[in-house]
Amino acid sequence: MRNVKISKLWDQLHSSYWFIPAVMAVVATALAFTMLNLDRTGKVDVNYWWVYTGGADGARSLLEAVAGSMVSVAATAFSITIVALQLAASNFGPRLLRNFMQDTGNQVVLGTFIGTFIYCLLVLRTVHGEGDGYSLFVPQVAVTVGILLAIISIGVLIYFIHHASTIIQASHVIQNVSEDLHLAIKRLFPEKIGRGESEDSLGVEKIPISFEEEALPIRANGTGYLQAVDDKELMKIACKQNLLVRLKVRPGKFVVQGSDLVLVFPGKKVNKKLVKKINDAFILGKERTEQQDVEFPINQLVEIALRAISPAVNDPFTAIRCIDQLSAGLCHLVQRNFPSPYRYDNSNKVRVIAEGVKFTELVDAAFKQIRQYGRSDIAVTIRLLEAIALIATYTNNSRYQAVLRHHADMILQDSHEALSQKQDYKDVEQRYYQVIKNLNNDDINKNWD
């Protein structure tokens, strides 16, 4: 896995609306000085039809027109972006705002307009006519590039109009969150880490008997959501200090200042320096991210679904789209190895115990609230059972099958209590029996990719 702190920094920059526009503004500044230098040295042949050949007044008017229009267009684009963020917050939930903030297209659009504006200003200040008290200087190459940037900005504006109308569509939002879910699964469950599940008992045997009595807690020095844990740094600390560290929280959980982060064995080695080092390995933030929290994109899809089936919206089709993407994510997940909580050093000694998220918790997060809020909606209920039946065909793990069977049973029971029509209940029963059939099918030969 890449360095956690670098990944976190990039995530913060990517989620901001200032980074890419600032970079493009710097590039525009460098481009302006480069073009002006070429004009002053006269090394560029300007005897081409497409090169600006007008006088100083024409160059000023042209650059002023481009610069003024870029300010107006940038303000309009920013206003449209704010409206899109407001619609996203009201229709899909405030947790989805981060996804919109990460939209590279909007950032590039704003950066293009701002960069063109800065370029034109910097070139404009160097244009001098014969009566200005300076020697005549009309940067023909620089002005030509300004015209080219204006043409590019028009194309970017056309793209932005299309893009702004696309990103607020429910299907687009759901697809983006689903992609985040699949990327998080690939990143967090790429292969076995430490030992496999069948070897977990080996780690238990290597934990000192006096661990609970002699271990001391290290408490958090801040408050916020645990966004990531620098596992490499934590392992390095444990090996260097000859420690056994057990994590008390996992990414995605809310941490209160003074609450336990880890238990350290032996406790006698705990000091202020060690407390600071371990706290530095835990990255807290104001909101959850999918960097090490696979449950977060699941919760985002569930939030969209719950808003869709609320009485105020009553849009079961959007909820069904969310269930489809949740089923795709869980089909992907059941074919991955859940990592063992035990992390070993090069001497095969347990150094870190990190309890990760369990399959049961992820399925609960995906289906529980949708089942509770959509129990009286026949379409949502049927699609939930169809999703479980699909997931069942991708795994022959008995524990996973038991979890899926449990949720199917609860969906059937809720539908029996909530549905008034016998035919509707028969339709639900039919899907339920398909779940049972798939769960009992041992001939599993499915592959994800």
Helix or strand holding residue 301 (H, E):
helix 295-308
Same domain assignment for residues 131 and 207: no
Backbone dihedral region for residue 340 (phi beyond 0: left; psi -120 to 50: alpha; all else: beta): beta
Q: How many CB atoms lie within 10 A of CB 155?
A: 10
Are 308 and 366 contained in the same domain? yes
Task: Compute the distance between CA of residue 382 and CA of residue 428 in angstroms, rounded to an integer.
Answer: 6
Q: Give Cα 175 to chain centroid, integer Å.
A: 12
DSSP codes joined into one string, 313-352: T--HHHHHHHHHHHHHHHHHHTTSPPPPSEEE-TTS-EEE
User: In this predicted structure, what is the pLDDT of residue 282?
Assistant: 93
What pLDDT shows up at residue 262? 92
Each residue's pLDDT, cut to its tens digit, for the chain (449 residues) gives: 457 777 778 878 888 888 999 999 999 999 999 999 988 887 766 677 778 888 888 989 999 999 999 999 999 888 888 887 787 777 787 777 777 788 888 899 999 999 999 999 999 998 887 665 666 788 888 999 999 999 999 999 999 999 888 888 888 889 999 999 999 999 888 644 434 444 454 555 567 777 778 889 999 999 999 999 988 889 999 999 888 999 999 999 999 999 999 999 888 888 899 999 999 999 998 888 888 899 999 999 999 999 999 888 888 999 999 999 999 999 999 988 888 888 888 888 888 988 889 999 999 999 999 999 988 889 999 999 999 999 999 998 899 999 999 999 999 999 888 888 888 889 999 999 999 999 886 443 343 33
Q: What are phi and psi of 117, to 5 degrees?
A: -60, -50
Residues 6+ apart with CB under 8 A from 336: 185, 189, 190
Asked if the structure places residue 253 within a domain, the reply is yes
The pTM score is 0.84
| Contact residues for 51 (Cβ-Cβ < 8 A; gap 6+) | 140, 141, 144
My answer on whether 130 and 264 are in the same domain is no
Q: Is 173 among the domain residues?
A: no
Q: Work out how many domains the chain is built from and give that number.
A: 3
Q: Residues 329, 182: contact at Cβ < 8 Å?
A: yes
Q: Angle 238-6-269 (CA atoms, 0-180°, nearest 5)?
A: 20
Q: Residue 8: name the closest of 233, 220, 275 by CA.
A: 233
Residue 175 lies in a domain: no
Residue 241: inside a domain: yes
User: What's CA 132's distance to the chain center, in Å?
Assistant: 55
Instruction: Say what the pLDDT of residue 194 is.
Output: 39
How confident is the model at residue 196, as a pLDDT? 42
184 occurs within a structural domain:
no
Give the pLDDT score at 133: 60
Are 148 and 23 found together in one domain?
Answer: yes
Model pLDDT, residue 362: 95
176 belongs to a structural domain? no
Which pLDDT score is estimated for 6?
79
Rounded distance, CA 111 to CA 18, Å?
9
* 185 located within any domain: no
Residue 356, pLDDT score: 85
Q: Are residues 244 and 267 in the same domain?
A: yes
* Domain housing 90: 4-168
State residue 51's pLDDT score.
Answer: 80
Q: DSSP labels for 173-221?
A: HHHHHHHHHHHHHHHHSSS--SS-GGGHHHHHHTS-TTHHHH-EEEE-S
Q: Flag whether 183 is in a domain.
A: no
CB-based contacts of 47, cutoff 8 Å, min separation 6: none
Supply 148's token pair. 């080219």
Cβ neighbors of 205 (< 8 A, separation 6 or more) are: none
Residues 137 and 63 in one domain: yes
Are 316 and 240 in a shared domain?
Answer: no
Whole-angstrom Cα distance, residue 373 to residue 155?
45
Residue 445 CA to residue 448 CA, distance in Å, equals 10
Contact 220, 229 (CB under 8 A): no
The residue from 259, 285, 311 where one domain ends is 285
Find the CATH number of the domain harbouring 201. Answer: 3.90.1170.30
- DSSP element (H, E) containing 263: strand 260-265
DSSP state of 226: E
Residues 234, 207 share a domain: yes
Residue that finishes a domain, picked among 269, 285, 301: 285
Same domain, 130 and 223: no
315 & 221 share domain: no
Evaluate whether 307 touches 92 at the Cβ level (below 8 Å).
yes
Task: Indicate if 280 and 406 belong to the same structural domain.
Answer: no
Task: Name the domain boundary from 268, 285, 302.
Answer: 285
pLDDT on residue 202: 53
Same domain, residue pair 301 and 428: yes
Coil, strand or helix at 24:
helix
